[in-house]
Amino acid sequence: MDAPNNQTILVGEDRPIRLDSGVDLGPVTVAYQTIGRLNADRSNVIVVCHALTGDHYVAGTNPVTGKPGWWDMMVGPGRVLDTDRYFILCANVLGGCMGTTGPRDINPSTGRPWGLGFPVITISDMVKVQVRLLDALGIDKVFCVIGGSMGGMQVLEWATAWPERVFAAVPIAASYRHSAQNIAFHEVGRQAIVADPNWHGGAYHDHGVTPHRGLAVARMTAHITYLSETALHRKFGRKLQNRETITYGFDADFQVESYLRHQGSTFVDRFDANSYLFITRAMDYFDLATEHGGKLANAFRETPARFCVISFSSDWLFPTMESRAIVHALNSVAANVSFVEVDSDKGHDAFLLDEPEFHETLRGFLDGAARHRGLRPFPAKEADR
Amino acid sequence: MTASSLPAASVSGSNGDLRFDLRLIADMVTPGARVLDVGCGDGALLQYLARTKGVDGRGIELSMAGVRTAVRRGVSVIQGNADTDLADYPSAAFDYAILSQTLQATQRPRDVLAHLLRVGGRAIVSFPNFGYWKARWHLLTKGRMPVTQGMPEEWWETPNIHFCTIKDFVVLARCMDIVIEKGVALREDGRLNRLSATGPWANLMSAQAVFLLRRRDMETPT
């Protein structure tokens, strides 16, 4: 397999990126990963959009955590995102903390980290940066844009704002707008960060500290929403952590407590608190229907893209109902759409996990789309034999 | 329509197992047409149409298992319901709306028919014939709801809640001012019955029927 290739590039140097807030931002550093080979007519590109706390380390080993990339099982020769056929590209989102410009980076006009001075960004702004990246790479039209959760929001933004540049779109476990419940959970997370005395109004870098307690609580709360009750119970039940009986105290008596604390504490090592604020805000602001005169169908009018909408039966963060609303809107403009609700008890996180039914559905859709696009696998390389 | 108008050996390779009634339906579709298959099952017909006729096809299927198989085949199918989801589609979005062996399982067959002809200029509808002599004989001699090869479930477990005879269907089409362009009656073994599908003998001697319908205001074929 061609090893994942991690790079950075500068975009918006001559022409800054006009953000939805009206701010002009540029230049912007974009960190991205590619896997596989671009074909001669540059028609085999799959853009993978990552989720809230994801990054561009899709495959191979994530150099920050030392763990496999978040979709490593999906990417490779003969896998669902088949590198014998497709060229996989994933960029760290604008506002992120893994290499693409975000609040942790230096604001050139002050020489200090942006912190809260970073412009408030939207899903649309994230996609604008990805479009600039593709422009810089000379890729005009992508074969497929795919992503789960916030990645799915970016997919919808891609397909509606740049329809002529997208052949196929796969929003997974996503929604066309962030629900009140989801905004509420995000607000809990943000308040936990802001309430941490180490946050210092977002200027913690100046004080040499990080609001790690607040960020850990934000992660713990969010993590619960990514799992189903069934999955949580199956994994932990009421099992105790390294002890025979309860201790009549506030130690992590239960395994589930210990697990959440671990999730929180490892998260703060790899994620920036201000990035968490800005990216969750971008998700909250996302509402494709409102952006199109209150009618979601307007967003998809005349869309030439082939859609495959996928949801998971036990996902209560982005429930099937929301995917179905996207499907209804696509049907009302007679768009080309497939829709599958995958039976899974693993909750929202199912899109990151080994779900054979999901993988086979996606493989079938991509195969069909590739046939229509006239994409063929690369001939086997001599060197590979 | 008779057997002689069917192209010989139109199925080949992996499509060889396409059911005969589905082949009949496929033969009614013009190449390159836009097709909506309502109750498309595992997408076999849509896949066949795409491969052999370059048809731009979409499907609606109630069973999740069917949808998954269809999407895996590379066919565009959504999980949905003929009674509720047809209303989403804009008028004249398709050239043909197909309803194969599904009409009798819908809540409101008349509304579904009306929607089929609204979203597709033409509709192709197939259904099991309750007027088949075996069904009549079963009811007459046993006094119980017929269980036949084409209608294999007991009354309490069947998804088929609106059975009709071929004659019933023809009468409904007339009531709705629908033009029957073609009608084909099939025997229990799935082979063609060379009887006029709208005549009384077909209603007695056929296990199922396939009709090509069009709205009165559509132009006639050239």
Residues 6+ away with beta carbon under 8 Å from B63: B41
With beta carbons less than 8 A apart as the criterion, state whether A167 and A373 touch. yes
Please answer yes or no on whether B89 and A331 come within 8 Å at the CB atom: yes
C-alpha to C-alpha distance for B171 and A314, rounded to whole angstroms: 46
Q: Is the dihedral of CA A263, A264, A269, A273 positive or negative?
A: positive
Burial class (CB in 10 A: 0-12, 13-18, 19+), B149: exposed
Contacts of A336 in chain B (CB under 8 A): 56, 58, 76
Residue (of B43, B9, B39, B14) closest to B27 by Cα position: B9
Q: Is A349 annotated as a binding residue?
A: yes
Nearest-Cα distance to chain B for A357, in Å, is: 8
**Of A43, A149, A275, A311, catalytic:** A149
pLDDT of the residue at B123: 97
- Mutation site for B-interface testing, chosen from A172, A331, A358, A366 by largest number of B Cβ within 10 Å: A331
Strand partners, B184: B210
Q: Assess B88–A contact: CB distance below 8 Å, yes or no.
A: yes
Examine the residue annotation and report whether A262 is marked as an active-site residue of this protein: no
Strand partners, A47: A89, A145
With beta carbons less than 8 A apart as the criterion, state whether A227 and A234 touch. no
For residue A34, count other CB atoms closer than 10 A to its CB. Answer: 22
Examine the residue annotation and report whether A348 is marked as an active-site residue of this protein: yes
Whether the complex's predicted ipTM surpasses the cut of 0.85: no
Computed over every residue of chain A, the mean pLDDT equals 95
Q: Assess B68–A contact: CB distance below 8 Å, yes or no.
A: yes
What would you report as the CA-atom Rg of chain A, rounded to the nearest whole angstrom?
21
SS3 content of chain A, % helix, strand, coil (to 5): 40, 20, 40
Average pLDDT over residues B112-126: 96
Please answer yes or no on whether A341 and B71 come within 8 Å at the CB atom: no
Average pLDDT over residues A95-104: 98
Give contacts of A 26-55 with B, CB under 8 A: none
Average pLDDT over residues A156-174: 98
Please answer yes or no on whether A340 and B93 come within 8 Å at the CB atom: no
Question: Given B73, B74, B79, which is nearest A339 (Cβ)?
Answer: B79
Tally of residues, chain A: 385
Please answer yes or no on whether A360 and B78 come within 8 Å at the CB atom: no
Q: What would the pLDDT profile of A269-312 be if each residue is shown by its tens digit?
A: 999 999 999 999 999 999 999 999 999 999 999 899 999 999 99
CATH number of the domain at A5-177+288-384, out of 3.40.50.1820, 3.40.50.620, 3.40.50.300, 3.40.47.10?
Answer: 3.40.50.1820
- Mutation site for A-interface testing, chosen from B71, B84, B94 by largest number of A Cβ within 10 Å: B71
Residues 6+ away with beta carbon under 8 Å from A85: A36, A44, A370, A375, A376, A377, A378
Q: Assess B77–A contact: CB distance below 8 Å, yes or no.
A: yes
Q: Assess B31–A contact: CB distance below 8 Å, yes or no.
A: no
Q: Assess B92–A contact: CB distance below 8 Å, yes or no.
A: no
With beta carbons less than 8 A apart as the criterion, state whether A177 and A290 touch. yes
Q: Which domains occur in chain B, in start order?
A: 19-129+163-215 (3.40.50.150)
Q: What would the pLDDT profile of A4-41 be if each residue is shown by its tens digit?
A: 999 999 999 999 999 999 999 999 999 999 999 999 99
Which chain B residue lies closest to A331 (C-alpha atoms)?
A: B89
Examine the residue annotation and report whether A149 is marked as an active-site residue of this protein: yes
Which chain A residue lies closest to B74 (C-alpha atoms)?
A: A368
User: In chain B, pLDDT over 70 holds for what percent of residues?
Assistant: 91
- Mutation site for A-interface testing, chosen from B76, B115, B119 by largest number of A Cβ within 10 Å: B76
With cut-offs at 50, 70 and 90, classify the pLDDT of residue B149: confident
With cut-offs at 50, 70 and 90, classify the pLDDT of residue B215: very high
pLDDT of the residue at B8: 30
Q: What amino acid occupies position A374?
A: G
C-alpha to C-alpha distance for A132 and A127, rounded to whole angstroms: 9
For residue A184, count other CB atoms closer than 10 A to its CB. Answer: 10
Please answer yes or no on whether B90 and A360 come within 8 Å at the CB atom: no
pLDDT of the residue at A300: 97
Q: Is the pLDDT of residue B147 over 90?
A: no
Contacts of B70 in chain A (CB under 8 A): 338
* Beta strands, E only, A12-50: 17-18, 24-25, 28-35, 45-49
**Where are chain A's structural domains?**
5-177+288-384, 182-281
Nearest-Cα distance to chain A for B186, in Å, is: 32
| 3-class secondary structure, A340 | strand
Question: Given B68, B75, B78, which is nearest A327 (Cβ)?
Answer: B78
Please give the span between the terminal C-alpha atoms of chain A, in angstroms, as a whole number: 12
Which chain A residue lies closest to B78 (C-alpha atoms)?
A: A339
Residue (of B92, B57, B73) closest to B14 by Cα position: B73
| Phi-psi group of B101: left, alpha or beta (phi > 0 → left; psi -120 to 50 → alpha; rest → beta) | left
Question: Given A327, A332, A364, which is nearest B71 (Cβ)?
Answer: A364
Q: Is the dihedral of CA A76, A79, A84, A88 positive or negative?
A: negative
pLDDT of the residue at B13: 36
Residue (of A283, A322, A276) closest to A122 by Cα position: A283
DSSP code of residue A2: P
Strand partners, B128: B208
A and B: number of Cβ contacts within 8 A: 69
CATH 1.10.1740.110 fits A182-281, yes or no: yes
Contacts of B76 in chain A (CB under 8 A): 306, 336-338, 368
Give the residue with greater pLDDT, A379 vs B219.
A379
Give contacts of A 336-365 with B, CB under 8 A: 336-343, 357, 360-361, 363-365
Q: Is A219 annotated as a binding residue?
A: yes
With cut-offs at 50, 70 and 90, classify the pLDDT of residue B150: confident
Residues 6+ away with beta carbon under 8 Å from A52: A149, A150, A222, A279, A280, A283
Rounded (5°) CA angle B99-A301-B77? 30
Contacts of A306 in chain B (CB under 8 A): 76
With cut-offs at 50, 70 and 90, classify the pLDDT of residue A207: very high
Please answer yes or no on whether A338 and B77 come within 8 Å at the CB atom: yes
Q: What would the pLDDT profile of A343-366 be if each residue is shown by its tens digit?
A: 999 999 999 999 999 999 999 999
Please answer yes or no on whether B72 and A327 come within 8 Å at the CB atom: no
C-alpha to C-alpha distance for B83 and B4, rounded to whole angstroms: 36
